[in-house]
Structure 1
């Protein structure tokens, strides 16, 4: 249970509060907790795999609504093996029926197209 709480904390701090792993490592070190950044990065990958079914469910729900709003942003992504970055497309697709008094709750799903 403690491990899951630690993982949830690290994920929320990274993605919810935009706190990079190297900064989190520094914060843990200030509390005399040794936590390797590569270990935390590995945990991020594991958390992403665990959350994939939830992402799929959210994506399917958002895409089923009549009114969608989308934003496409070019995003540089590391390209391992080539020693540089490549440009991918990052999509935010949202729905919010409140202004039209519709049934859909506000929701947003994020997708990356390589």
Structure 2
């Protein structure tokens, strides 16, 4: 499965670069940091993951 993820990341890299380029040229940028509880496989305790959302409004 790690191989699949690596290949997927490689295929999506151009898309991520275009999104980053578009967002960073915005005059106004809104950012949301949302904490999410994550339970790793086999673990008994959750940890905190984070989702970062960027929106521009020109």
Would you say how many aligned residue pairs link Structure 1 and Structure 2?
56
Higher relative contact order (CA 8 A, sep 6+): 2
Matches for 1:85-96 after TM superposition, within 5 Å: 85-96=46-57
Q: Does 1:63 align with 2:32?
A: no
Map 1:34-49 → 2, pairs under 5 A: 43=4, 45=5, 46-49=7-10
Secondary structure of the corresponding residue to residue 57 of structure 1:
helix
Structure with more helix by fraction:
1
Structure 2 alignment gaps of length 5 or more:
none
TM (norm. structure 1) is: 0.37
Deviation of the 1:50 alpha carbon: 1.4
Rg larger in 1 or in 2?
A: 1
Q: Which runs of 4+ in 1 moved over 4 A?
A: none
> What CA RMSD, in Å, does the superposition of the two structures yield over aligned residues?
2.8
